[in-house]
Amino acid sequence: MTELDRAEFTINLMRFYGATDHSAENKAFSKMLELLPNNNEQIYHKHINEPKALNPKTVKLKPLFRNGHKEMRR
């Protein structure tokens, strides 16, 4: 959803709450629903925004955390 879509959604939400009859409410509500992402768009954006699982073989660790490292002396 772009900034313009968010602004339009907010305007339609204000129109919905300010409506004095059911037809104005339905019109504003329908416009809000048109701006919301459909199921396919939600799945697509969820996939893009999910953090990638780290492959432990490619993670570089500092020597302090590697197996077999001697304990630090105090």
DSSP string computed for 4-47 = HHHHHHHHHHHHHHH-SSHHHHHHHHHHHHHHS--HHHHHHHHH
pLDDT at residue 33, rounded to an integer: 86
Residue 49 domain flag: yes
Residue 74 domain flag: no
> Which parts of the chain register pLDDT below 50?
74
Domain boundaries, position 30: 3-65
Residue 16 domain flag: yes
pLDDT at residue 59, rounded to an integer: 59
pLDDT at residue 46, rounded to an integer: 75
What pTM was computed for the model? 0.51
Residue 71 domain flag: no
Number of domains the chain is built from: 1
Residue 30 domain flag: yes
pLDDT at residue 38, rounded to an integer: 79
* Residue recorded with tokens 């019109």: 27
pLDDT at residue 11, rounded to an integer: 93
pLDDT at residue 53, rounded to an integer: 60
